[in-house]
Amino acid sequence: MLRWSVHLEGGPRRVNHAAVAVGHKVYSFGGYCSGEDYETLRQIDVHVFNTVSLRWMKLPPVRTGGHERAREVPYMRYGHTAVLLDDIIYLWGGRNDTEGACNVLYAFDVNTHRWFTPKISGTIPGARDGHSACVLGKAMYIFGGYEQLADCFSNDIHKLDTTTMVWSLINARGSPARWRDFHSATIIGTKMFVFGGRADRFGPFHSNNEIYCNKIKVFDTETNCWLSTPSTQPLPEGRRSHSAFSYNGELYIFGGYNAHLDRHFNDLWKFNPEAFSWKKVEPKGKGPCPRRRQCCCMVGDRIILFGGTRSGKKHYYLELSFLYYVKLKKILHTLCKIAVIQYSLEQSGLPHDIRWELAAMTTNSNISRPIFSSHG
């Protein structure tokens, strides 16, 4: 049984950021926050969340010894992507208010916390944001996004072979997915499942006739072909800026936004690629509020979801919610125990922070107050 089981506040305020799970930690890169400076080329910030201690840590800025070294560290941006291959996180794309979109490939070593720019060749994708990135084997696939130079949506597929560091533009056969940005692309087996995003009714150029796709498009990486897909009901509402992840061979999506409906979502849907059918999932517990542009990472059988914005308000939520894939019976005793202890501590009159820490120590559980610091 699925259950939203933890709700914490105190993380970085971010939308359109990129995050990757590495072991029991989540690395979050950049993103947008109202009131911050996105005109200078300051270094991208890196926040690390420890899912065991429930602590946030901001990594210190990288020391650069000169202009050439500084170019190996990405500047602050939003609308980019990050993927993990072995011990390297590859960050690509995104934009800055001064520099616009970027197509430099940056690499972050999770062991040394050092940035570098790999030497690449081949057909390098044009600078863009709002694209998707996913990994299969030793390859990274880039799909869609909004290309800066062409000033239009894309539906190209680019592949980076990380063993040779060669980019290639895939000559895809079949009926392609529409030009779009802020969609999701998820690898299951050897196929890439594309869902949602913002497109234009009349083609690749933005004419203020937006449409929001709600049908799955499937790309077969073995045959380099877009597959024909059957019609299915029910379907989630079309949306952009949602989250997507795979678990046990199925695709899940959460949240997002539809401008036609002026609606933010906090629904969770599951797609079965064998039956080619959707099912709305109703987890127990109090879940996240409706939102878009959040990050969602899988750590073991838990989903770590944080950041995002909603309702057109200039407020970026600080929420951090966990979705645990465990049977309710396994956690019911602990949840009851925590509830009783926290109630008793509330009656004690002790300060909130002390009550929280005492509850954590008494139950021997990971409910400790999240700490946000700039030190290790």
Of the listed ranges 131-135, 206-210, 231-235, 307-311, the least confidently predicted one is: 307-311
pLDDT of residue 241: 96
pLDDT of residue 5: 76
Q: Omega of the bond prior to 234 within 30 degrees of 0, cis?
A: yes
Q: In this structure, what token pair is assigned to residue 268?
A: 């969770």
Percentage of residues of the chain with pLDDT beyond 90: 64
Give residues with Cβ within 8 angstroms of 25, minimum separation 6.
48, 49, 50, 51
Per-residue pLDDT of 147-171, as tens digits, reads 999 999 999 999 999 999 999 999 9
Per-residue pLDDT of 331-362, as tens digits, reads 444 444 434 434 454 555 555 444 444 444 44
CA 40, CA 99: separation in Å to the nearest integer? 9
Q: What mean pLDDT value characterizes the chain?
A: 84
Confidence of residue 6 (pLDDT cuts 50, 70, 90): confident
pLDDT of residue 337: 42
Phi-psi region of 91 (alpha: psi -120 to 50; beta: other; left: phi over 0): beta
Q: Quick check: 96 pLDDT over 60?
A: yes
Report the relative pairing of strands 100-101 and 88-96 from DSSP bridges: antiparallel
Q: Which long-range contacts (CB under 8 A, 24 or more apart) does 57-64 make?
A: 57/373, 57/374, 57/375, 57/376, 58/12, 58/372, 58/373, 58/374, 59/113, 60/374, 62/113, 62/114, 62/115
Handedness of CA 186, 191, 195, 197 (dihedral sign): positive
Confidence of residue 363 (pLDDT cuts 50, 70, 90): very low
CA 44, CA 38: separation in Å to the nearest integer? 10
CB count within 10 Å of CB 368 equals 15
Q: Quick check: 368 pLDDT over 80?
A: no
In Å, how far are 245, 251, 271, 298, 309 from 248, measured between CA atoms?
A: 10, 9, 11, 12, 29
Handedness of CA 210, 186, 10, 359 (dihedral sign): positive
Q: Quick check: 44 pLDDT over 80?
A: yes
Buried b (16+ CB within 10 A) or exposed e, 32-63: bbeeeebeebeebbbbbbbbeebbbbeeeebe
Q: In this structure, what token pair is assigned to residue 105?
A: 């490939």
Q: In this structure, what token pair is assigned to residue 67?
A: 């202009």
